[in-house]
Structure 1
Amino acid sequence: MIKSITTLFILFLTFLNLPAQENNMQEIINIIEEIKSGFAPDKRTALFDVSISGGNDLIVLSGETNLIEAENELIARLKEKSIMFENNIRLLPSEELGGKVYGIINLSVANIRSKHSHSAELTTQALLGTPVKVLKKDDGFCLVQTPDKYISWVDNSGVKLVNKEELEKWINADKIIFNSEYGFSFAEADINSDRVSDLVAGDILINLGKENNFYNVEYPDGRTAFIEADKCLGLNNWFSEAYPTEENIISTAKKFMGIPYLWGGTSTKGMDCSGFTKTVYFLNGVVLQRDASQQVNTGILVDTEKGLDNLKPGDLLFFGFKQTEEKKERITHVGIYIGNNEFIHASGKVMINSLNPDAANFSEYRLKQFIRAKRIINSVDDNGITSIKNNKFYSGEF
């Protein structure tokens, strides 16, 4: 009888304590969400995936993040409230990488996916010679962050993992950039010799010297090859010439007319709408954000309230759905203004449409969905736009 009463009493106390436990847990969840919204508002560019378990006596933190500042803030907030916790959050880059927390893209175009699976969604691409931050490895893939801060998965064959010393060697080496839309490298200084790989515009390799009309080049994994010299530029020379003027942007954009639309594509093999704008500006020395919904938050706002007269060639035009009382604004498409009310964009293929109802190539659909325009040309190294030569990934300072 006494034992039964004791058991009931303990259950009663536990029941009374449940609301306090729930409130405590909810408070911690709220703190985590506050920190996430402050440090990692965009999961495409920052990781703060933290969960909790346990109870009032001891809270267990688990998950992972690449933001030590966010983790430190969470720990400080919990200590401030005298909350007992065990910290099992995994800080990235992973210790399992053994110091090889950097990578250099090793294919002409590396496909980067939403999950570590070849069947997963293609989210972006990276070009040969691109430096990346490696966060962890899993099942034949590496979670990497590209120079636009995008975080996704690339298969192991697409990236050469290196340590800091090896990265600096690559950064400081004399390099060339491939500036033809498409081509190949060869085993010898002869276009009839065996091919080593394909190449696309923007690929970067180490320059080992010149032989006849070819550059002798080295890949991140140590392979060597020869590339026709008239299809390359010395990278330092290219840096001094590559700048986004109105003429340069339009000329580059029109070179890609008819190239197929590819969801997740950011290369001359295929591109989606923001991959197209990103590629055009990259080939003129600028790193744009990956997605249209990110690009719209950069650059200088162009006044289009009373029409399109203030637009200049090279401006980015953004399309989508305007904000309503029920829904937030949603940017779903982007193109490049080329003048005379026309814009070039990737939609099915790279093509030119007009916002003028009297034009033969008028797109009523795009006119109805037009949201705003942003000027990129006057924003290099400002307003969220970085030049390649000043991007910390390309200078090895990340």
Structure 2
Amino acid sequence: MKLLRKFYLPLVLGIVLSATSCEDKTVKEEKNPTDEYIAEVKREYAPDGRVALFDVKSEKQGDSYVLKGESNETEAVESLKQKLEAENIKFKDSIRLLPDAEELENKTRGVVKISVANIRDEPKHSAQLVTQATLGMPLKVFKKKGGWYYVQTPEGYLGWVDYGGIQNMEEEELRSWKKTDKLIYLETAGFSYEEPDSDSQRVSDLVSGDILELVERQGKFYEVRYPSGKKAFVETAYAQPYLEWLENLEATEEDLIATGKDLMGTPYLWGGTSPKGMDCSGFTKTVFFMNGVVIPRDASQQIHTGEEVDTERNFENLEKGDLLFFGKPATDSTAERVIHVGMWIGDNKFIHSMGEVHISNFDQDADDFDEYNYNRYLRTKRVLNKEDEGLIYLKQSDLFTLPEAEEVKM
């Protein structure tokens, strides 16, 4: 009997203590009423973390809640506060609104100052490359960490760029830079020089789409100035005054194909959007940019622009320049996954970056039939000359220049 007592008494005590502990834990884990409103606001204003930051949490302090975190979406923060006030939830707003002008010394804008700037998902060189920005591209700057800056590209993509890739500016400095004449580099890859002589010392490499300040023409060279202020010379055969290029730009189907073929053989690079290396959506983004259109960064974003023209592999309905999307279709339990994009060039063929930029064939009788991509085809969208809030047409934007009306005011 004593043995039974010795065995059962600790067991019973253990069960009682365990039950008490669980009960206490339940009491302690009181539901935070702000969580559902934070989630609701995030769904509305920042559903895609690639282009909007809303990293907000709350902690209970006494009979109220402290809102913590950061966001670059002022409207989202205001919406959250209004929702909490409507529910009579007491709170203290400690959310950090970006840009942090004080930390950045009012330099909340920037311009890429090297041929291609790498933008990563964390402020370190070993972090994943998420996108790139070419020379002369204006950026919004939100915060800094060490020698890194958290920036946003014109199409909205967020990431970290190191100090070597960006010339930080105040708003007025950016306006002054935009007011200057510009030059666009058109060759796939090349160089600028210290003197108007291609045998002189190189200043830097250049890639197609790079934008520099145009100082003047000197014979067969343009004198240019970088956003950092350094001067150089670019051969006239490989560049053109930006406004002149823009005025003559027609962006036809054949132009898109020609641009795509100029990039043939460019190696695949995850996160790349330049002739130095590009992923699938970086390739289509580069092709359209060189034809005067800024399209969203990723394939899963590009698919939401333009007009749908096919979902059933009726390729006879496609036109040159249409974008083909690939991935996994939605099921009863999973959402659609868009993981690849290419551009139609006619004759049952499309060009895309996969391993390298190359042409694939959808002719099932051809020796080079691309069965893999044929089987994961989702649909085709027509982007060229379509009006869409996800598209920026350089002829209609002030991305690199100031609007005429603003120039008059100044």
Aligned-partner Cα distance in 2 for 1:342–1:169: 46
- What is aligned with 2:294? 287
TM-aligned CA deviation for residue 21 of structure 1: 7.8
Aligned-partner Cα distance in 2 for 1:131–1:376: 24
Aligned-partner Cα distance in 1 for 2:327–2:217: 49
Aligned-partner Cα distance in 2 for 1:342–1:242: 25
- What is aligned with 1:22? 30
Contact 2:66 2:94 in 1 (8 A): yes
Compared with structure 1, are the counterparts of its residues 232 and 85 closer, same or farther at alpha carbon in structure 2 (3 Å cutoff)?
same
Contact 1:58 1:85 in 2 (8 A): yes
1:123 aligns with 2:130: yes
TM-aligned CA deviation for residue 154 of structure 1: 0.4
Aligned-partner Cα distance in 2 for 1:314–1:144: 31
- What is aligned with 1:7? none
Compared with structure 1, are the counterparts of its residues 189 and 108 closer, same or farther at alpha carbon in structure 2 (3 Å cutoff)?
same
- What is aligned with 1:8? none
Aligned-partner Cα distance in 2 for 1:344–1:388: 24
Moved more, 158-167 or 300-309: 300-309
Number of residues paired by the alignment? 381
Aligned-partner Cα distance in 2 for 1:126–1:178: 14
- What is aligned with 1:82? 88
1:165 aligns with 2:167: no
TM-aligned CA deviation for residue 86 of structure 1: 1.3
Contact 1:319 1:331 in 2 (8 A): yes
Aligned-partner Cα distance in 2 for 1:83–1:21: 18
Letter of the 2:317 partner, please give it: N
- What is aligned with 1:266? 273
Spell out the pairing of 1:1-398 with structure 2 (5 A cutoff). 22-23=30-31, 25=32, 27-55=33-61, 57-94=63-100, 95-305=102-312, 307-379=314-386, 381-382=387-388, 384-391=390-397, 393-395=399-401
Contact 1:389 1:395 in 2 (8 A): no
Match of 2:317, SS state, is coil
Contact 1:125 1:265 in 2 (8 A): yes
TM-aligned CA deviation for residue 389 of structure 1: 3.6
TM-aligned CA deviation for residue 392 of structure 1: 5.6
TM-aligned CA deviation for residue 16 of structure 1: 10
Identity %: 47
Q: CA offsets, 1:31-74, max 9 Å, x none?
A: 00110010111000000000111246120111000011111111
Letter of the 2:93 partner, please give it: N
Structure 2: state its 5+ residue gaps.
Answer: 1-19, 404-410
Aligned-partner Cα distance in 2 for 1:156–1:16: 51
Compared with structure 1, are the counterparts of its residues 189 and 306 closer, same or farther at alpha carbon in structure 2 (3 Å cutoff)?
closer
Compared with structure 1, are the counterparts of its residues 55 and 22 closer, same or farther at alpha carbon in structure 2 (3 Å cutoff)?
farther
Contact 1:178 1:202 in 2 (8 A): yes
Compared with structure 1, are the counterparts of its residues 211 and 396 closer, same or farther at alpha carbon in structure 2 (3 Å cutoff)?
closer
Letter of the 1:73 partner, please give it: S
TM-aligned CA deviation for residue 383 of structure 1: 5.0
TM-aligned CA deviation for residue 198 of structure 1: 0.3
Letter of the 1:85 partner, please give it: F
Match of 2:316, SS state, is coil
Letter of the 2:85 partner, please give it: K
Contact 2:281 2:341 in 1 (8 A): yes
TM-aligned CA deviation for residue 232 of structure 1: 0.6
Contact 1:21 1:56 in 2 (8 A): no
Moved more, 253-262 or 75-84: 75-84
- What is aligned with 2:13? none
Contact 1:242 1:283 in 2 (8 A): no
Letter of the 1:225 partner, please give it: A
Match of 2:385, SS state, is helix
- Rg: which structure is higher? 2
Aligned-partner Cα distance in 1 for 2:88–2:401: 43
* Aligned-pair Cα RMSD in Å: 1.9
Structure 1: state its 5+ residue gaps.
Answer: 1-11
Aligned-partner Cα distance in 1 for 2:389–2:104: 34
Compared with structure 1, are the counterparts of its residues 86 and 110 closer, same or farther at alpha carbon in structure 2 (3 Å cutoff)?
same
Aligned-partner Cα distance in 2 for 1:52–1:258: 50
**Structure 1 length-normalised TM:** 0.92
Moved more, 47-56 or 259-268: 47-56
**Structure 2 length-normalised TM:** 0.90
